[in-house]
Amino acid sequence: MKKTRSVMQLFLGLLLIFFIIGCSPYSQNQYDLSKYNSGQKIYIKNDTKAYNRYEDPRYVVETLKRGEEYTVVAIKNNHIELRKVDNNSFKSNIWVSLEDTEIEKTYFLTLMSNASNPTITINNQNYQSNMRLTQGTHKVNIKADNFLEKDLAIEILEDTHIKIALDFDMEIINKKMEEAKIQKELKESIFIDNNQKLMWQDDTSSTVVKKPWLTEINYNSKNYNDTKGNTAKSYCTHLTLANFKDWRLPTKEELKMLSKQKQLLKNIKSDWYWSTTTSDNSNELAWSIFFDNGDGYADFKNMSNFVRCVRDH
C-alpha cells in the first residue's frame, strides 16, 4: 500500500514538473512554431550573434546581418538551427534565437510630415515610429488639425523614408481666424452688463460716432417717428460687432443704469448719448443721457448726439 502511494506521489510530481515547464516563459509555445518548417527559408530580423549550439556552454560563431536568408534545420528551446549556404558548399550549422528571425523579410518605414502631431494609420493600424512592413503596396492615411486629410499608396521594396506634405484646410483656418477675431472683439470692444443682462458696444466708435435721431428731411416734414436714413437707430441696426448683428439703440433707463457702471467701460465720452425713448411731451423730442452723471435731457430729434448701441445678452 505504501509502495503504491509512493508511485502515485512520484507520478503527480512529474506531472507538476511537466506542467511548470510547459507554462514557462521559455516554452516554445510562446511562438507559432507551425510557421517554421524544416527546409524552409527564413530571414534575419536584426543583426544578431549566431552560436555553435542552442544551450550553454556555447560560443559565438559569427554575426549575422539583417535580411540574410537561411534554411531552417530544427527548433529547440526557442532557438532555431540554421544552415548557411556559401559558394554552394554547406558550412557548419548555427543557432540563433527565434525572436531574431522572421518568415517574411521586412523593411523599415519612416514617415514624417509638415504637420505637427499627425494621426497616421497604415493598413488601418496605427503607425509606429520606424514601423516594419513586408514588401508590397500599403495603404497610408494621414490627418492633422488645420490640414486636409490625405490617402496614399506606398510601395515598400526596401527601407523607406518619406516626408508627406499636407495642404492647409483653408476653410478651417479661416473659421479659426474669424473665431479669434470675434474673441478679440469680445475682449476689446464689448462690455457685458450683468446687472441688466445686456451687452454694450464698447469700442472707440462709441466715443466718436455722432448721429441725429431723425434726418433733417424727416424732421422738417414732421415725420418724427421715421428713423430711416443716417440716424442713430439705423446705425445700431446695421452694426456688426463681435459677429453680432442684432444691435439696437438703448432705452433711456438702460443708458442711465449703464452710466452708474461707467468705471467698468474701456471707452468713455463725457457727453450726451441718444436713447430710443421719445419725450412724452412732444414727438419732436427724444431723451439723451449725459454719461458723466446719468442726467437726462429731452433734445430735438434733428440734433446730433453720440451713439452707444446695446443688445440683449
Task: Provide the grid cell at 122.
Answer: 497604415
Task: Provide the grid cell at 12.
Answer: 503527480
Q: Looking at 88-97, 153-162, 269-278, 290-299, which range is the least confident one?
A: 88-97
The Cα–Cα gap between 277 and 296 comes to 11
First vs last C-alpha separation in the chain: 96
Q: What is the pLDDT of residue 114?
A: 93
Q: What is the amino acid identity at position 312?
A: D
Q: What is the pLDDT of residue 91?
A: 66
Pairing between strand 310-312 and 272-278?
A: unpaired
Task: Provide the grid cell at 233.
Answer: 437707430
Q: What is the pLDDT of residue 185?
A: 83
Domain boundaries, the chain: 27-102, 114-164, 175-312
Comparing C-alpha atoms, which of 208, 196, 198, 210 is closest to residue 244?
A: 198
The length of the chain in residues reads 313
Q: What is the pTM of this model?
A: 0.53
> DSSP assignment, residue 267?
S
Contact 310, 223 (CB under 8 A): no
Residue position matching grid coordinates 419725450 = 279
The strand pairing partners of 277, in sequence order, are: none
Q: How many helices and strands, by DSSP H and E, does the chain display?
A: 5, 24
Distance of CA 152 to CAs 64, 113, 138, 246, 257, Å? 35, 13, 8, 47, 63
Contact 136, 156 (CB under 8 A): yes
Contact 49, 63 (CB under 8 A): yes
Instruction: Identify the helix (H) or strand (E) that includes residue 188.
Output: helix 170-189
The Cα–Cα gap between 168 and 144 comes to 10
Helix, strand, or coil here: 120?
strand
The Cα–Cα gap between 286 and 276 comes to 7
Question: Is the pLDDT assigned to residue 30 strictly greater than 60?
Answer: no
> DSSP assignment, residue 35?
G
> DSSP assignment, residue 222?
T
- ∠ Cα 36 40 46 (to 5°): 70
> DSSP assignment, residue 263?
G
Of the pLDDT bands very low, low, confident and very high (cuts 50, 70, 90), residue 274 is: very high
Q: What is the pLDDT of residue 5?
A: 53
The Cα–Cα gap between 277 and 258 comes to 15
The Cα–Cα gap between 201 and 190 comes to 5
Helix, strand, or coil here: 237?
helix
Q: Average of pLDDT values for 54-75? A: 92
Q: What is the pLDDT of residue 108?
A: 95
Comparing C-alpha atoms, which of 52, 110, 60 is closest to residue 82?
A: 52
Q: What is the amino acid identity at position 304?
A: S
The Cα–Cα gap between 143 and 244 comes to 33
What does the DSSP assignment read for 47-98?
A: -EEEESSSSSS--EEEEEPTT-EEEEEEEETTEEEEE-EETTEE---EEEEG
CATH number listed for the domain at residues 175-312: 3.10.100
Q: Find which of 4-8, 38-42, 263-267 is predicted with most confidence, using mean pLDDT.
A: 263-267
CATH fold of the domain at 27-102? SH3 type barrels. (2.30.30)
Q: What is the pLDDT of residues 230-261, one digit of tens each?
A: 999 999 999 999 989 999 999 999 999 999 99
